[in-house]
Chains A and B, each alone.
Chain A
Amino acid sequence: MKNIIVCMKQVLDPEIPLSLFHIDTEARLAIPPKATPPVLSPFDENALEAALKIKDARESNVTVISLGKKLNRVVVSSALAAGADHLVLLQDEAFGDFNTYLTAGALAAAIKKLGEYDLILCGLQAADTNTGQVGTGIASMLGIPCITEASKVELDDNKVRVEKASADGSEVIEAPAPAVVTTNYEVGVLREPGVEAFMSAAKKPITTWDARELGIETADTDCFSLVRMYEPTQEGKCEILEGAGPEEKAEKLVNRLVEVKVI
């Protein structure tokens, strides 16, 4: 029996239409639109799929850990429906201000508390902040190896074997278990539960820990912080060039494109 831990973040749905996306620049926060629930970060869903593929091949226990100030039960427990065995929710008001460093620390604390693990999987990055720091952070805090951007993950008796794409082909990397592996989309799209998996999810255990239970008494949220968050403005301008015939139009177009330094 292998123990696999997958860290999954609840994020603002990256696919919401533009008209629903707003940022509170004062609070430096994206405002979650009403009636649009968050989702599990798609990158972390890839990580869960990697874990489930290992579980398909050999007996394993997959634990999903999610951290946040307020987690949507329906959203996070969809990991159980997909096939995870146990869900650990790290929920605390204080986590709202956590940066990547503190998040990695809290997750590492939870992993230590769980005790037994052979492999820790994280998405390549979170779909909202896109920093890609938490996976490596956990590895360094636990003092175990870390392989990033895996496209395939295998778990042998005592080693982790990873394939990853490189500029001129692909690499196969091995590390002794336990190790942290961050995955990219190539490990596969997360399976969608059918009624069987969906119904069985309700019976699976969910554990909730707050900061105190994780032994996090004080957190230095100022070690690094977000300074500014804003919606970039994009301006589109359309210019119509007139001309007598195609030749003239083409000439004008070329001149104009040179003028604005596009060509």
Chain B
Amino acid sequence: MSPVAENYLGITGYLVFWFLFAIALGLFIQRVSLLIRLLKLGRPENRFDRLAYRFINMLALAFTQWRNLKAATLKDPSPIGHAFMFWGLGLFFIAYLVFIGFGSGFGLFTVLSGSAFEIVFFSILDIAAILVIIAMLWVIIKRYVIRPERLKREETTEEKITQAALIAVIIVLMLLHYGMEGFGYAAYGIPGSWPPLGTALADTLVNAGISRDSLVAVYKSLWWFNYILLLGAVIYAPRSKHLHPLFSFSNMAFKNLNPGGALKTIDIQKKEEWGVSRIQDFSWKQLLDGYACTWCGRCHTVCPAQLSGKSLSPRELILGMKEHLLKVGPDLLKAKAAVAAVPVATDEAGAAGSEPAVAPPESPEKAFIGDVISEDAIWACTTCLACQEVCPVNNEQMHNIIDLRRYLQMAAVTETARDTMKNLRVRGNPWRGTMYARTDWAEGLDIKIIGEDSHVDVLYWVGCTEALEDRSLKVAQAVARLMKQAGVNFGILGEEEMCCGDPARRLGAEHLFQMLAMNNIQLFSSYNIKKIVTACPHCFNTLKNEYPRLGGQFEVIHHSQFIADLIRRNLLKINQLEEAVVTYQDPCYLGRYNGIYQPPRQILKSIPGVTLVEMEPNRKDGFCCGGGGGRMWLEEDTGQRISEMRLSQAMDTRVQVMATACPFCLQMFEDAARVKEVDESLKIRDIAELVAEALETPADAGDKA
């Protein structure tokens, strides 16, 4: 029996049912269509390729809860709670659709009532509801009692209301499930002992001697209350501050399918692509990130800039984008409509007259840069990608920051980065004032220069830092020694090599990046280069993941992969190294950017005498050295130094050597070790240096003979 099948004040329940439904649906569509029109204020971005893959991927990510569950730890088991809530509410969603939608709405309850299907489904819901209630109780404890760092933020009243309302509605819906089961079964007949909780409650009610009329009346009231609450939730959800349940699916479907750290290539001929300073300058996908955000705060608590006391919070950027869009978006839509309404001017007077309407409307209350995010925060990002790694909904915080930087560099390069940029433009390297020529490190090593002899199998791309910065020259020498011993036929570009463009690009100077990149790509093509090895993860990422967009397709290998392979093929004769306990720093651009975690560890483990001790955090959770994103060339004058924080984590492992595979890490940690006065006891080395140190020299070979 369904309450819709009855008349209320002479009106059939079906009419009431569909009338209420139509109102709710109308209000839902009205709001969601506004939210979508707001997204369309953003710039176009093509995320419609490989649609089938995107769809399947979305389903897989959502239903396995993978991105959420991988964050679960003993200390923070919230992801498990979220997964149960998601699965549980998913089942309820199906139940509402089947039993309320089809069952009551279309009168199928006559078939469904008392069916085996209903009994099985309700039994499952009995268990699911408990799990959801437990999960919600955990949410309450977590959000209101424990309040861990990631959830601490100054919430607005509206946000507080949303949060409380969502928790309350979910719990009440779960309780209503039991209530309706109990009173329904008690009134219309108990099917047996399944579903367990529903029938137990029904038994209790019957035993309590409540009259059937009362049972029916309560059941009907509960049913309508449940229905109205559901419709209320449908109306409220898109108007609330928590749009995550509605938009996280689409955000996963439209996620970036390119390597996560490869920046968007902009057409520098097109003014409208130069940078982002207003909310409508972001792409629709970037705006969608804001809707999908669930305020979990994970990005906030892994961000090295945030942790070291800078003003950047990736969480606040994303939430700020959403708030700003919701606030100024409707006015922008009106302005857009006004522009569209202006008839195409046919004469000069008309053109002049239409100008005020065409002018881009400025935000009425707040500017984006300055109010939503400060310039300091924009420059604080080290592009380490930790935020994107932990984001459960595939948001792309780092890319938004780079787009903002692009705007800040649009008219003129900012003063702090000026020397570096000028040096890049004029001399093709970011190391102003270097005393070295690009081939100085190779003196006496008998290394081919490709301009003189291009018959090589491998180009060793040295990179500016390893060619021009004092400490890093030794890494280049070590790499060359290893390749020589392994009999690799390689060459270098010498003076013809220019910066790969990474610093320019990460600091927002896209034109400089493209200039440098095009120059290098042409050079590779002219020498018919097919295979490139580099010891710099930043060059590696740029050459491998970003040059293809500019037409440069080459096989690019990081020296950690290359050396690991040489060792595997027994091409390097490695001796015992003096006993050393070593820890390994995952460079962001090697690990998170390119998923290379194993080869450097294999190398270290293959050196006899070396004991590898992991520091916390490591691999995907590894902590940045502070040198990425062009930060290598900017001052770090606020808060703690990121490099010193990471060095402390290395010191906690009590190792003698901190190994890394990136010239920026090397420099940052050497400086940090000097500041902390541990440079005697803790050596900072590139993995190539350690292998080269352990190489069998001709003298060793002689001893053995």
Contacts and interface: CB of A to CB of B under 8 A. Distances in A.
A198 B511 contact: yes
A177 interface: no
A36 B509 contact: no
Contacts of A189: 418
Given A34-B495, A35-B496, A39-B426, A192 B434 contact: no
A45 B95 CA distance: 74
Nearest to A81: B425
A37 interface: yes
B469 to A, nearest CB: 12
* Tier of interface size on chain B: 20 to 34
A17 B268 contact: no
Interface string B392-435: 00000000000000100111110000100110011100001111
Given A19-B437, A192-B421, A196-B410, A37 B274 contact: no
Interface residues of A, number: 25
A168 interface: no
B436 interface: yes
Interface centre among B271, B412, B427, B496 (most CB of A within 10 A): B412
A182 interface: no
A194 B406 CA distance: 9
A20 interface: yes
Contacts of A17: 434-437, 440
A195 B437 contact: no
B433 A196 contact: no
B425 A78 contact: yes
A19 B509 contact: no
B435 A194 contact: no
Contacts of B346: none
A72 to B, nearest CB: 11
Interface string A186-201: 0001011111111100
A191 B577 CA distance: 51
Nearest to A20: B437
Contact of B432 (A15, A36, A195, A199): A15
Interface string A11-53: 0010111111000000000000111110100000000000000
B495 to A, nearest CB: 4
A194 B437 contact: no
A195 B409 contact: yes
B207 interface: no
A35 B435 contact: no
Interface string A88-119: 00000000000000000000000000000000
A192 B410 contact: no
B411 A196 contact: yes
Contacts of B435: 17-18
Contacts of A78: 425-426
B466 interface: no
Given A17-B436, A20-B437, A35-B496, A196 B418 contact: no
B46 interface: no
B269 interface: yes
Contacts of B126: none
A33 B511 contact: no
Contacts of A37: 426
A192 B496 CA distance: 24
Interface string A54-98: 000000000000000000000100100000000000000000000
B510 interface: yes
Given A17-B440, A35-B496, A78-B425, A195 B274 contact: yes
Contacts of A197: 411-412
A193 B432 contact: no
B437 A193 contact: no
23 contacts: A13-B426, A13-B427, A16-B437, A17-B435, A17-B437, A33-B437, A35-B496, A191-B413, A192-B412, A192-B418, A192-B421, A192-B422, A194-B411, A194-B413, A195-B410, A195-B509, A195-B510, A196-B410, A196-B411, A197-B412, A198-B511, A199-B269, A199-B271
Interface of B: 268-269, 271, 274-275, 406, 409-413, 418, 421-422, 425-427, 432-437, 440, 494-496, 509-511
Given A35-B494, A195-B274, A195-B406, 8 more contacts: A15-B433, A16-B437, A19-B440, A193-B412, A194-B509, A196-B411, A197-B411, A199-B511
Q: Which 8 A-B pairs have the closest CB atoms?
A: A192-B413, A35-B495, A195-B511, A17-B437, A19-B437, A194-B409, A20-B437, A194-B410
